[in-house]
Chains A and B, each alone.
Chain A
Amino acid sequence: MKLIFEKSVKGRKCDILPKCDVPATALPEGLRREVAPRLPEMSETDVSRHYTELCKQVHGVNCGFYPLGSCTMKYNPRIDEEAAAMEGFTNIHPLAPKSTVRGALEVLDTLREDLCEITGMDGMTFQPAAGAHGEFTGVLLIKQYHDSHNDTKRTKIIVPDSAHGTNPATAAMCGYQVVNIPSAPNGCVDLEELKKVLGDDIAGLMLTNPNTVGIFDENILEITKLVHEAGGLCYYDGANLNAIMGVVRPGDMGFDCVHLNLHKTFATPHGGGGPGAGAVGCKEFLKPFLPHSALMDRPGRLQVRAFMGNFLVCVRALAYVMTLGREGIPEASTNAVLNANYLMQKIKGTFTPAFDRICMHEFVLDLSQYEKETGVSALDVAKSLIDYGMHPPTMYFPLIVHEALMLEPTETESIESSASSMSLAKPIRSLCTMRRITPRSVVRTKSRRRATRSCATPLHDRPASNL
């Protein structure tokens, strides 16, 4: 389809503003823009149709099954959107007097209380704007803690080789050297490998549990104990919290701080890649190190972005937690785990699970043997699913499984969704094998790595005269 710039017609516009009712003030000469920005010139009809055309080329959770492992693509309730669009939330200034934003503070306080209870933490900040941002905030808590004890020899963070790529990148952003430890054959932490690297140079451990292959690490208490005994702190990557809510809490596993992805576990929409929110919870002793806004709140503390964070995302999360409540939160997790196990059970006659055992909310298929036998890769299978109108699973992650496909159905899918995806598995397997790597989507995008430009050149030049 055409780019928006190619639909632009010189002189076309939307009438939005009234005429200015005060005398004009000219910008001093040396400060003026020389050439007007070449933005599109469109009627409102043009704009509406352009974005509708774009919208038709997007696959959302509302379009169909979205078993993207590690991303928790659950249904995003509309009531949450309605709440976040209420004028009493959208039209309040972050620097308005506190007495005029009591409702907003109540939203944050209530959500904080609820999420602390779910995670077993004592304090929480909503300043981080995303999961990776939450990780950064969490590891900064660890760093401040050691610094406050003048413990400067702790320069390393332990990250298992099954971790999300953000974990080591976060450790590096916090000035730590990353110590990678290999996983045990079952994908869990290898206790012997852990013991080998523990010492007084370790600041902490970053871990997600259930881990990235969808298995709950049964040695978790031993792991966190060992790290604590070495003087390190334990950071919980909340990416996989959807498996365990109301059943077991990171705080009770021995973790000191945790980040949550409100856009995964608490059903706020992903928005095609944000905005999300990465709430960070911590135990009592880390609370003095939580970030604050210098302008809103108190100077002298660290902060990871301006103001309070992605507040309107927090409103959505609160609507979700209020809806589910005491019984609904564990029900969501149990059914996420049930759905994953059912799907794995049904699919394993066709493709091979990397770990054939009860899984948590997600599982990984290992297509390496299949690939060896037929030449058909995980990529081919994933792209074939697109031809059948389904969003592919996560591919080639975690790195410890070769030819990996990672599936996370979530609790909001029905048994029918599983059935329809399973009914695809066999034909896709035989089709791919037969065609030897020619599903249509793969053919269509063969040259997809050769990006040539990152910006369009708008089609017409405009003179500076209209400024």
Chain B
Amino acid sequence: MGSYVPSTEEQRREMLNAIGLSDYRELYRDVPESMILNRPLDLPEGKSEMEVRNALRKMAAENTVFSTVLRGAGAYDHYIPSIVKYIPAKEEFLTAYTPYQAEISQGVLQSIFEYQTMIAELCGMDASNASVYDGATAAAEAAAMCRDRKRRVTLISATTHPDVINTVRTYCYGTNDELVVVPMKDGRTDKDALKALLNEGVASFYVQQPNFYGLFEDADELGEIVHAAGAMFVMGCNPIALAIMKTPKDSGADVAVGEGQPLGMPIGFGGPYLGFMATTMKNIRKLPGRIVGETTDHDGNRAYVLSLQAREQHIRREKASSNICSNEALCALTAGLYMATMGPDGMAEVANQCMAKAHYLANELCKLDGVKLRYEGAFFHEFLLDMPKCKEIEHALMKKGILSGLPYEDGMLWCVTEKVAKETLNEVVSVVKEVLA
């Protein structure tokens, strides 16, 4: 059995004696006898470190690690620089608790402050929080922060990631509020349908940019339509695209959110990821979660603290707008580290390469008979193809160590990142060609 208890049997006896007990069982004398588990837990025997490592290696080996991933849909396989993998593994960052005690946590607080600043920059916004769980919960929290006493209804575009829609629906179910999905037209939000659904009860409208199909939405116009009806405009953005794309602020968004995973986190079978949220000064007090602020200490030195805490659950209890506490701090540190390592030019390069390579693959595949883009228009690094034999294509590529696009709605949703070389893309095209021949 492995154990992390340092006390020797002799020391345990010594402690028991000091407390005035003779047996461990007496420690649990408040627990009614009838409830005590009078059998060993039905678990395997404990293992040594070496056995545990071997057992987990075996499980890890049962998963297929594809050398090329052409699947996105909310989890994006970007290149992670070595230093971005190494620094968050430092034990101090890894094992510290939430920075409640500012004097002993300046390192964590400053890393979050820097992350917040970078996210605000990326979104063109004034302020960011320290993170939420992921992009889907960021969308749900944004919907909650836009509601007031009169305006309760949340609108969300049908072009949003299905998990995001369902998560927002779940949060709305919680507070007994209504969620309405705005239909799409040709792969983008149907503006006429949006106009028809807006009224004085609508709190906010959410659109994903680029959307689930990879397409750029006409965000400026959507924002104008939403604002004309007096509702708030929320954009869920891909943070890599934000390096080159018009900022949500410039598109008129009141709140910008998104999935931060592309900023240095591995796809990791879905988590841990990172939800980012940024807004204007006007709405900062409505932001949920931790916010780190800058202040000065007694000697006039710069220092960082958890700020605006009067919004939060530990003070407002049932009147807090969210129950969220600290959540993905180490992921926020990772994202900040990634952005600092890549720099503004590096971030733009990642975005440009993703876009260029996705268009290259789309063009080449569309040269094949029976393959075409389902929706026309500008896209970023994902695109939905109408193509026959999706399952066969998935299978054939898998044999080459390539994870294909996602079979979705009778087509295939492809994603290309900067990691994939032209040579590999050409290989994909020839495999698909062979399957379709």
Contacts and interface: CB of A to CB of B under 8 A. Distances in A.
Given A56-B107, A103-B62, A455 B120 contact: yes
Of A4, A296, A462, which is in contact with the most chain B CB atoms at under 10 Å from its CB?
A: A4
Interface in B25-82: 26-32, 34-37, 40-49, 52-53, 55-66, 69, 71, 73-75, 77, 79, 81
B91 interface: yes
B359 A447 contact: no
Contacts of B394: 97
Interface stretch (A306-314, A365-373, A427-435): A306-314
A413 B7 CA distance: 8
B52 A76 contact: no
Contacts of B342: 14, 16, 39
A114 to B, nearest CB: 6
Contacts of B120: 455
Contacts of A450: 295-296
B246 A34 contact: yes
A220 B423 CA distance: 65
Contacts of B21: 341, 358
The 8 A-B residue pairs with the shortest CB-CB distance, nearest first, are: A88-B60, A451-B293, A325-B46, A307-B270, A273-B326, A103-B62, A271-B330, A275-B272
A383 B356 contact: no
B136 A60 contact: no
Interface in B241-269: 242-247, 250, 259, 266-269
A166 B313 contact: yes
A55 B87 CA distance: 9
A460 B331 CA distance: 26
Given A335-B7, A337-B27, A42 B341 contact: yes
B320 A275 contact: no
B170 A323 contact: no
B86 to A, nearest CB: 9
B63 to A, nearest CB: 4
A217 B31 CA distance: 8
Interface in A275-321: 275-277, 291, 293-296, 299, 302-313, 315, 318-319, 321
A270 interface: yes
A305 B133 contact: yes
Interface residues of B, number: 199
A216 B33 CA distance: 13
Contacts of B333: 272
Contacts of B131: 274
Contacts of B293: 451-454
A47 B340 contact: yes
B166 interface: yes
A453 B24 CA distance: 52
A96 B323 contact: no
Contact of B297 (A216, A341, A446): A446
Nearest to A36: B344
B226 interface: no
29 contacts: A4-B336, A13-B343, A16-B81, A17-B349, A37-B344, A55-B87, A55-B92, A59-B92, A76-B94, A81-B94, A83-B52, A130-B326, A165-B316, A168-B318, A271-B96, A274-B326, A274-B327, A276-B327, A295-B74, A307-B74, A307-B269, A323-B46, A338-B7, A338-B19, A386-B104, A411-B5, A447-B298, A455-B127, A456-B113
Contacts of B242: 33, 37
Contact of B36 (A60, A96, A247, A313): A247
B63 A88 contact: yes
B427 to A, nearest CB: 14
B79 A16 contact: yes
A172 B288 CA distance: 14
Interface in B353-368: 353, 355-357, 359-360
B27 A172 contact: no
A92 B269 contact: yes
Contact of A313 (B29, B42, B272): B272
Interface string B83-101: 1000101111111111101
Contact of B103 (A273, A303, A325, A441): A441
A15 B138 CA distance: 32
B149 interface: no
Contacts of B323: 132, 135-136, 166, 169-170, 172-173
A368 B339 CA distance: 48
A168 B284 CA distance: 23
Interface stretch (B183-191, B196-204, B227-235, B300-308): B300-308
Given A23-B360, A328-B3, A455-B128, A40 B103 contact: no
Interface string A397-427: 1000000000000011111000000000000
Nearest to A164: B314
Contact of A94 (B99, B267, B355, B418): B267
Given A358-B30, A444-B297, A329 B43 contact: yes
A229 interface: no
A82 to B, nearest CB: 7
A197 interface: no
B4 A75 contact: yes
B238 interface: no
B378 A27 contact: yes
A445 B65 contact: no
Contacts of B107: 53-58
A27 B381 CA distance: 11
Contacts of A164: 314
A170 B174 CA distance: 10
Given A22-B422, A42-B341, A302 B79 contact: no
B64 A96 contact: yes
B18 A346 contact: yes
User: Which of B32, B48, B59 has the most chain A CB atoms inside 10 A of its CB?
Assistant: B59
A212 interface: no
A38 B344 contact: yes
Nearest to B62: A103
A77 interface: yes
B163 interface: yes
A444 B300 CA distance: 9
Contacts of A293: 163, 166, 270
Which of B66, B176, B318 lies at the interface centre, i.e. has the most chain A CB atoms within 10 A of its CB? B318
Given A93-B77, A303-B166, A307-B270, A445 B121 contact: no
Given A79-B49, A415-B14, A446-B297, 5 more contacts: A100-B398, A165-B313, A270-B96, A311-B270, A342-B18
